[in-house]
């Protein structure tokens, strides 16, 4: 029984991590689009992360205007948690023009 419970937790974690990866990718794309339009890339990334249920934990912008690369990191809470197990995962995505 405990093997099935552990397997269920791992499957849930993989799904949460994949959702975090997708949120990071969308936030990076939103950040680049904002930078090209002359807006704040990190604010756009944070807004996108919020809309997609992720907390943006890092935003690095290299370049400006039409020549920009943005790296976004998001933290994903791993639920349910158990003693000695990880509590969160960090996922990073990069987008550029």
In which domain, by residue range, is 30 found? 2-96
pTM of the model: 0.88
User: Per the structure block, which two tokens stand in for 95?
Assistant: 């987008």
Using the CB atoms, write b or e for 37-57: b if 16+ within 10 Å.
eeeebbebbbbbbeebebebb
Sequential DSSP letters for 18-78: HHHHHHHHHHHHHHHHHHHTTS-HHHHHHHHHHHTT-EEEEEEEEEETTEEEEEEEEEEE-
Report the domain count for the chain.
1
> CA nearest 55: which of 88, 29, 80, 8?
88
Q: What are the pLDDT digits (tens) for 9-46?
A: 899 999 999 999 999 999 999 999 999 999 999 999 99
- Stretch 37-62: mean pLDDT, rounded? 95
């Amino acid at each position: 029984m405990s093997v099935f419970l552990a397997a269920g937790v791992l499957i849930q974690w993989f799904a949460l991590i994949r959702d975090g990866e997708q949120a990071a990718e969308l936030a990076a794309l939103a950040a680049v689009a904002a930078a090209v339009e002359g807006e704040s890339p990190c604010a756009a990334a944070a807004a996108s992360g919020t809309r997609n249920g992720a907390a943006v934990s890092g935003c690095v912008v290299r370049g400006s205007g039409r020549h920009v690369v943005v790296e976004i990191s998001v933290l994903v809470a791993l639920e349910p948690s158990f003693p000695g197990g990880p509590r969160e995962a960090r996922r990073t995505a990069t987008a550029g023009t």
